[in-house]
Amino acid sequence: MLQSRLEALEPEARRVLRAASVFGGASWASGVRALLGGDEATTPRASQKGRVDDWLEVLVERELLVRRGERRFAGEAEYGFRSPLVQEGAYAMLTDQDRALGHRLAAEWLERAGERDAFVLAEHHERGQDPARAVDHFVRAAEQSLEANDFLAAVARAERGIAGGATGETLGALHGVVAEARRWRGEAAEAERAAEAAIALLPRASRRWFSAVGDGVIAAGKRGNSESVGALAALLRDTEPTESSTGAAIAALSRAVLHLSFAGRSDEATTLVARMEAIVQAFPEVDESIRAILDRTHASRAAQAGDIARYLRLSESARAAMERAGDLRAACVQAGNVGDAYAGLGMFAEAERVLRETRDAADRMGLRSIATSARTNLARAVAQQGRSEEARALATEAVEVIRAQGNRRMEGFARVYLAATLLAADPTAAEIEARAALEAFAASPAARPLAQATLAEVLLARGEDEEAVRLAREAMAALVTLGEIEEGEGIVRLVYARALAAISDPEALAAAKSAVARLQARADRIGDPTLRASFLERVPEHAATLAL
């Protein structure tokens, strides 16, 4: 019925309607004229009804189009189809040759008119059989989706560009978008593969190259691939940024510092921190967001060194700076670190509040990896307030999600927290989780001591003292060798002293005194007396250590 109605229109009306259909759901008089080759249709110049504008109004009167006024482009009245079926019917009347030509002309007119949606331009060039120009716009379209936190659209649009025949640097840029989008979604394996492809194709030392290396570091670190982290860190160390790529270089180096530290490669991490500071000195006009990245880096180092108060202060500073710079994703990451720092200071109610806010914000923005991390740390904060059932549910949920994401390191922490919630009610289940955590930390030397100490604590509760002592000794030896671990120094020292006491080892007293001395030294770094008291008295393992 619709086709019959369209075929009954005057030839000029059909031409105008077909031209409008090329634009899709919205069209403009100037655009339609551009597709038809001039200001008028094919009717004689004297016939005013032959003008495109007049025919558009006729089509409005016949209820095939609707006039929307000036919406998208200043000075251009916008027309829409009364029904999507009308647009589809008119579009189907075009020949293949006219359709391709129409899309090329539509793309050119939209670019002149100031179209900002790169995906619209990409699709017109693609349908206009101009793949080279389509691919260029797919790069920008994918980046626009990334900026809008629409990570699935970013991947889909980048893959359209890849499938469209992108080559060289353009292909590298598209793989780079996929790497970042997959990374924010917590899809570590896919992110690592895309980052490798981008690094190989992009010009070394360019902004996009540094970003791809940074995404590769995070993805490899989450998967426990410390060899790749080391190789990428070496690339960063040996590459001089340009003025335009300074920010991306600092961000990538910061990520390498973090994941080298997680891998127990503290000396390499320290070298990269010095490299970051040298770059900032070489480019003194860096913006606030870059200084915030430096704060974030020093915060992570402070956390591993056991200086929790400094970790909190620098994380709060970085979060505020990133919010001022408008980088809400980075600010969300730092909010999670603020919550983690509160928990480390024994301020569990404050930690819970911040971590819930972080989880909700990350969910809204589609930052699945950050939301999962917040849920994991939230389980610990809830457990420390005595709500074991709720904490167990949170930790169980986190384990299930993290396993699907392939983030072995974060899976280890989730399982450690789950084991802690199970210890009193179900020691057998707690042992299973602690052993699974130990396995998940296979490639994370700085995290393994926490899992070893947790498993030793479970075994002590079950009366398996000899095995507990062996694990506690291994954890303590690793702590001494590394000098600092990612998390749980207080637990490692406490469990070591308790394990030795369980077998009446004469070294138990010395181990207890050493644990107390180290704890006091860490507390002495905290200038605020309220925070210091909370650190010593409200963190369970610290209070238990002082009681030794």
Residue 317 has pLDDT above 80, yes or no: yes
Give the CA count within 13 Å in the CB-facing half-sphere of 49. 6
Q: Which residues pair with 78 in a beta bridge?
A: 28, 69
26-28 and 65-70 strand pairing = unpaired
Question: Domain segments of the chain: what residues?
Answer: 2-95, 445-548
Residue 323 has pLDDT above 50, yes or no: yes
What is the residue-wise DSSP string for 377-443?
Answer: HHHHHHHTTT-HHHHHHHHHHHHHHHHHHT-HHHHHHHHHHHHHHHTTT-HHHHHHHHHHHHHHTTT
Q: Is 202 left (phi over 0), alpha (psi -120 to 50) or beta?
A: beta
User: Which one has a higher pLDDT value, 449 or 548?
Assistant: 449
Radius of gyration in angstroms for the set of CA atoms belonging to the chain, rounded to a whole number:
30
Residue 45 has pLDDT above 50, yes or no: no
At 483 the pLDDT is 87
Percent of the chain topping pLDDT 70: 97
At 47 the pLDDT is 42
In contact, 66 and 79? CB cutoff 8 Å: yes
The per-residue pLDDT for range 68-81, each reduced to its tens digit, is 877 788 888 899 99
DSSP label of 462: T
Q: Where residue 38 falls among pLDDT bands split at 50, 70, 90?
A: low
How far is Cα 269 from Cα 261, in angstroms, rounded to an integer?
6
**Tally of helices (H runs) and strands (E runs) in the chain:** 29, 3
The per-residue pLDDT for range 195-246, each reduced to its tens digit, is 999 999 999 999 999 999 999 999 999 888 889 999 999 999 999 999 889 9
The SS3 call for residue 367 is coil
Q: Where residue 43 falls among pLDDT bands split at 50, 70, 90?
A: very low
Residue 293 has pLDDT above 80, yes or no: yes
User: Which one has a higher pLDDT value, 484 or 337?
Assistant: 337
The per-residue pLDDT for range 478-525, each reduced to its tens digit, is 999 988 888 999 999 999 999 999 999 999 999 999 999 999 999 999
Hey, how many other C-beta atoms are within 10 angstroms of the C-beta on 389?
11
Of 50-59, 250-259, 392-401, 499-508, which gets the smallest average pLDDT? 50-59
At 76 the pLDDT is 87
Average pLDDT of the chain to the nearest whole number: 92
At 71 the pLDDT is 76
At 51 the pLDDT is 84
How far is Cα 213 from Cα 210, in angstroms, rounded to an integer?
5
Tell me which residue of 184, 202, 191, 196 sits closest to 231, measured CA to CA: 196
The per-residue pLDDT for range 92-132, each reduced to its tens digit, is 999 999 999 999 999 999 999 999 999 999 999 999 999 99
Residues sharing a CB contact under 8 Å with residue 279, sequence separation 6 or more, in sequence order? 241, 246, 249, 250, 253
Amino acid residing at 189: A
Q: Where residue 289 falls among pLDDT bands split at 50, 70, 90?
A: confident
Please give the CATH topology (third level) of the domain spanning 2-95.
Arc Repressor Mutant, subunit A (1.10.10)
Q: Which residue has the tokens 């229109």?
A: 9
In contact, 260 and 225? CB cutoff 8 Å: no
How far is Cα 281 from Cα 368, in angstroms, rounded to an integer?
35
At 40 the pLDDT is 42
Identify the architecture of domain 445-548 in CATH. Alpha Horseshoe (1.25)
At 286 the pLDDT is 65
The per-residue pLDDT for range 356-411, each reduced to its tens digit, is 999 999 999 999 989 999 999 999 999 999 999 999 999 999 999 998 888 898 99
